[in-house]
Chains A and B, each alone.
Chain A
Amino acid sequence: MVALKKDEIQSLVEGAVEFALKAGADEAEAFAYQGLIANVIIERGQISRSSRIVDRGIGVRTILDKAVGFAYTNVLESREAIEKTVQNALKTAKASKPDKDWRGLTSKKPQVSVGNIYDQRITELQSEDLVNLASAMLDAAEQTDKRVFPIEGGVGTSELVTAIANSNGVACFDQGTVIECSLATVGQEGGDVTPVCFEFNTERSYKIDPEWVGREAARLAASALKAKKIETKSARVVFTQVAFHELLYYTLVNAVKADYVQRGQSALKGKIGEKVASEIVTVYDDGLLSGGLRTWKFDGEGVPQQKTLVIDRGVLRSFIYDNYTAKKEGRESTGNAFRAGYLSTPYVDATNFHFMPGKRSPEELINGIADGLLVYSLQGAHSSNPASGEFSVVATPAWKIKNGEIVHAVRGAMLAGNVFELLKSVSDLANNERKIGQLVAPWVLVESVKTIGK
């Protein structure tokens, strides 16, 4: 399938909006997505697979008497298929119920410029190049420690294109690239098997370091061997970005979304201006972050992305909004509407949820801890209570810190508590920030986390 060009995609969405208005819609919006994805895959110690996915389609939202309808298709070859999709959107709007809070689609705003989200070099990589990168990563892992088995991983590139048009004259086009390499490993020695350890490097530009990923994935697995149980007590815990992301994804990130707040599902409702975290915590939702994994010119409704101060030195300053939730409160969208491809209507989500780093290196952070835990990943974070922030998870892999040094791996320790209490107990942030999904953060030190061991 030949990739669609910029003007083809733009005329696709603009044509759909025009047709919808002609067919009787009060308002209409069309969103097109095209993804070209290539992967080279490592399975059980070898490169054994390679794949290429071409996926594209269009989703059309129509509004009739304040009732919203939506239809999509990935059949783009014929004009009839697009028109049928618009008709389906109108049909679902008719079948639906009016929404008294509907205040219209987004209006046209000046576009913003963002840096480092598209790199021509990524689009020019051939599958041979990806095989070489994967191979370098695999070799680095194998040379680091013989007790480590690379179970899965790979190298992948994506070239993503989106276009939006609506009946208020919004018309935007954006394109971006992503390159990623990752490796999951287990350490094995005698009868001892470690939990899965992994490392990864995801960037918008062609500047990944597969050897580092391989070495780190192997080093983690090797150091997760010979794990011991620990005592039940209250401990100082350093969360790496992976663990911190898992913890926040189902709790804090949801709690600042305007739809959660408006529906009374957020523990932060009514707390604007109040202290919700320790005073060293400052968080932006930064949709403009240079090279950010979720940086785009505009959001899923064509609103320019922006940088929103969410928590300022511990004080809650703002929630994040899409068009619907913003208009409900008579304010402006913060550019936080997201779409899961062309199949999805927009929903509120964070862009780059940025915890500002501190001054100390991760080593200095560890060196200052007489007794504590270093937690790389969590199991079961998705079973946290999303409304209250209560969690009860397994820290794995994790390491015991004693007198400023990592002394041994820890097996099966559970951590329990409440995320909103935990944020108030953050006592330090390191200077090693990195990007993972929607989080950009350094290692975070939290005081007195309940850890349940034997």
Chain B
Amino acid sequence: MSEGRCCLKDNLIKVVNKAQELGAEYAEIRAQELFRTTLTIEEGRVEAARQGIENGAAIRVIVNGAWGFASVGSFDIKSLSDAVSSACKMAKTASSKLRNPIRLAKTKAVEDKVLTKPRKDPSKIPVEDKINLTLAINKMILGYDKSIKTCTIDYLDMTGRNYFINNEGTCIEQDKLYIWSRITATAKKGEIFSFSREEIGSTSGYEIFDVETPEIVGERLAKRAVEQLKAKPPKGGTFPAVLGPNVVGVFVHEAFGHLAEADLTLSGSILLGKIGKKVASDITTVYDDGTIKGAFGSFKYDDEGIPTQKTLLVNRGVVVGLMHSRETAHKFNVQPTGNMRAEDFRVEPIIRMRNTFMEPKDHSFEELVEDIKFGYYLKSFRGGQANLDGTFQVGIQEAYEIVNGELGEAIRNASISGNTLETLLKVDAVGKDFELWPGRCGKGQTAFVCDGGPHIRVREVLVGGSA
């Protein structure tokens, strides 16, 4: 294997050199060796156990100020050479209508080798064990209550190695390890359906299942599905609300985070022109942090070879930073932040979040709730989405009424909406607890992320109820 790798690296360097000969101002190659196992379990049936290999390389160049990109599912030198010629040709063609040439922020060259050291390496665990584990979660959930009708579990692990080499002297070998599972269940009573989901994700190793055991995950999910059957729809309208860490996470990610991805900011998100300005209440501080050990959104170097970091986005209500690529960093005259990620070798890196969260402060949960006469406690989300104008929507899978300072009846199928900045200004108390939840973010490509924060209170938010 080592000989093969050595040879692969030599070939990658040759390709970068060839790009320069073909006139590239900038050239990089990213090669990936990836091994993936996935399972789908439905009501005790193993729908499929799948394993596979995906090897390939992505070449990105700048010629005459325009980007060219080519990817190919092969490492042989002929295919790589064809791809680099193709990338340079694509860039030249694209440059014919260019108005503002692409420039990259200058960065230090890095040479490094990053090895993962999992306690339990998923590639060494037999498929049988993974099947038995997911079947155990399945059984736990289906056996929890007879109203639970279905349970689907998707399991994924990926292990492999990435190589990143550019024409500025950066040369990185980086091991990759991801473990992920999504568990969904439906419960039914009469004509009422409820739906509940959970995700597990880690970059540390298979040992995540020693913490997120079938019992713990199973009960969290099954209990919610059953309780939701008794829940009633919310009243539609504007109400005070307490958001749980899981909902704060998706709010910070969807409603704020995307607007602070510099490519989207430049596309005209409402944060354009707001750097250095107050957009949230004084008690709001938000980070995007790629350095949290084992977290689902963590890694050492991004797919431009930039070290990851803890990036402060909002400091006590003021926007102080964005998430940058080398290209956007050059535009803003700042340093890149290590947020460029590509889902795999097939596609180009784009600016993505890592672990995004609101910093905790001083309130207990009781203190957050006690002054609310009537409002909602939004505990867990189903999905969320935001628009560049700051309109956000977060669908809620678990919520309760708050009546006279105390939690009341369960609510189903609520969602909240509003304008991000207006809502951030209405955050009037921030809790002292903290949770981080794994998830997947879609922006054309899928990225593994975490998001979270403490419980917070929002003076008012629009709650959309069912009919």
Contact = CB atoms under 8 A, between A and B. Distances in A.
Interface of A: 1, 40-41, 43-57, 59, 61, 67-75, 77, 81, 85, 88, 91-93, 95-97, 99, 101, 126-128, 131, 134-135, 149, 151-152, 186, 188, 193-196, 232, 263-265, 267, 343-345, 379-380, 382-388, 390-394, 396, 411-412, 414-418, 421, 450, 452, 454
Nearest to A188: B268
Contacts of B159: none
Given A345-B47, A388-B192, A393-B464, 7 more contacts: A40-B94, A50-B67, A54-B70, A61-B48, A131-B94, A380-B395, A394-B391
B83 A383 contact: no
B45 to A, nearest CB: 6
Q: Which of A44, A135, A383, A384: most chain B CB closer than 10 A?
A: A383
Interface string B38-53: 0010110111111111
B210 interface: no
B186 A390 contact: no
Contact of B73 (A40, A55, A91, A393): A55
B246 interface: no
Contact of B94 (A47, A71, A195, A421): A47
B459 to A, nearest CB: 16
B72 A1 contact: yes
Choose among A149, A387, A415 the residue with the greatest number of B CB atoms under 10 Å from its CB. A387
A394 B385 CA distance: 10
B119 to A, nearest CB: 23
B466 interface: yes
B195 interface: yes
A415 B385 CA distance: 15
A412 B391 contact: yes
A74 B236 contact: no
A442 to B, nearest CB: 24
Contact of B462 (A52, A152, A265, A414): A414
Contacts of A44: 266-267
A69 B51 CA distance: 9
Contact of B42 (A72, A188, A263, A379): A263
9 contacts: A1-B83, A47-B94, A131-B97, A196-B389, A263-B42, A383-B415, A387-B188, A396-B391, A416-B467
Interface in B368-419: 381-396, 412-415, 417-419
B389 A194 contact: yes
Contacts of A75: 53, 55, 73-74
Contacts of B46: 67-68, 96-97, 99
A101 B68 CA distance: 50
A390 B193 CA distance: 10
Contacts of A382: 383, 385, 395
Interface in B144-181: 149-150
Contacts of B385: 379-380, 382-383
Contacts of A74: 53-56, 73-74
Sorted nearest first, the 7 A-B pairs with minimum C-beta distance are A383-B395, A383-B383, A380-B393, A72-B52, A50-B90, A414-B464, A51-B69
B462 A452 contact: yes
Contacts of B89: 127
Interface of B: 36, 40, 42-43, 45-56, 66-74, 76, 79, 82-83, 86-87, 89-91, 93-94, 96-100, 102, 126-128, 131, 135, 149-150, 186, 188, 192-195, 236-238, 263, 266-268, 270, 346-348, 381-396, 412-415, 417-419, 462, 464-467
Most buried by B among A43, A127, A128: A127
Contacts of B126: 95
Contact of A195 (B47, B267, B387): B387
Give the one of B43, B49, B55, B237 with max A CB within 10 A: B49
Contact of B193 (A43, A81, A267, A392): A267
Given A68-B48, A193-B389, A412 B73 contact: no
Contacts of B346: 53, 55
Contacts of A152: 267
A387 B73 contact: no
A414 B127 contact: no
Contacts of B91: 49-50
B279 to A, nearest CB: 14
Given A411-B391, A412-B462, A416-B466, A264 B149 contact: yes
A392 B464 contact: yes
Contact of A92 (B47, B51, B74): B51
Contact of A127 (B47, B93, B267): B93
Given A388-B193, A452-B237, A48 B102 contact: yes
B76 A393 contact: no
Contacts of B195: 385-388
B55 A96 contact: no
A90 B391 CA distance: 50
A48 B389 contact: no
B150 to A, nearest CB: 5
Given A380-B393, A382-B383, A388-B193, A127 B90 contact: yes
B268 A53 contact: no
B169 to A, nearest CB: 24
A73 to B, nearest CB: 5
A73 B94 contact: no
A379 B387 contact: yes
A1 B82 contact: yes
Nearest to B150: A263
Contacts of A265: 149-150, 186
Nearest to B188: A264
A258 to B, nearest CB: 13
A365 B393 CA distance: 29
A383 B466 contact: no
Contacts of A393: 393, 415, 464
B466 A417 contact: yes
Nearest to A263: B150
A58 B362 CA distance: 55
Contacts of A196: 387-389
A264 B194 CA distance: 12
Contacts of A135: 97
Contacts of A387: 186, 188, 193-195
Nearest to A193: B389
A49 B395 contact: no
A57 B346 CA distance: 13
Given A85-B52, A92-B51, A388-B193, A49 B69 contact: yes
A380 B384 contact: yes
Nearest to B48: A345
B71 A72 contact: no
A50 B94 contact: yes
